[in-house]
Amino acid sequence: MKDPFSLQSESKALEPKDIYYNEVDDHGHVCKYKIESGAPVMVADLGDIKKLFNKAIQRAAMLTPEMITTLDFGSMTHIELAAIKLAVYAAAGDLKATQELFDRVLGKAKLVSESTNLNLTIDDILNGVQPQGVLDA
């Protein structure tokens, strides 16, 4: 019977894993590459980096602390890691991270301004002409 507390481990042959990496092209698209026979081969165009980051932020915002402890960080992209880090800082009370997270998840508040073209000349103003669309108070 084998001692379960023994420090000796069975020797296993290590299986080589496929090597992947991501790269951003000149157009802001993230492309996934795999090394085959020593040369990179593109296996996927993952899409626009801004859209990927926004999706990662939205997923990270929904994580609970228990969920974060069970994540496999080694299989994540840098974008996903940055999104999780931002969510963790926001949860810890970092105001800047909280603002950034809300802006990414909920969208920035839009500034609404109204403008009216009065089309008045100086003579119209001096003669007391009211511009169209303006109500008297």
CB atoms within 10 A of CB 12: 6
Task: Work out the end-to-end distance of the chain between its first and last CA atoms, rounded to an integer number of angstroms.
Answer: 97
In which residue are the tokens 């009065």 written?
Answer: 118
In which residue are the tokens 């980096």 written?
Answer: 49
- Residue 39, beta-bridge partner list: 36
- Global pTM reads 0.49
Better-scored residue on pLDDT, 38 or 132: 38
Better-scored residue on pLDDT, 130 or 137: 130
Tell me the pLDDT band of 29, cut-offs 50, 70 and 90.
confident
- Residues 6+ away with beta carbon under 8 Å from 73: 81
Q: Domain-by-domain residue ranges, the chain? A: 20-106
What does R_g of the chain's alpha carbons equal in angstroms? 29
**Nearest in space to 83 (alpha carbons), one of 61, 51, 108:** 61
Asked if 84 and 90 count as a contact pair (C-beta separation under 8 A), the reply is no
Asked if 2 and 12 count as a contact pair (C-beta separation under 8 A), the reply is no
pLDDT one-digit tens code per residue, 71-105:
888 777 788 888 888 888 988 899 999 898 888 87
Is pLDDT above 90 for 63?
Answer: no
For the chain, give the mean pLDDT: 76
Lowest mean pLDDT among 67-71, 95-99, 109-113: 109-113
Mean predicted confidence (pLDDT) in 11-16: 48
Using DSSP, state whether 58 is helix, strand or coil.
helix
Return phi, psi of residue 46, to 5°.
-80, -15
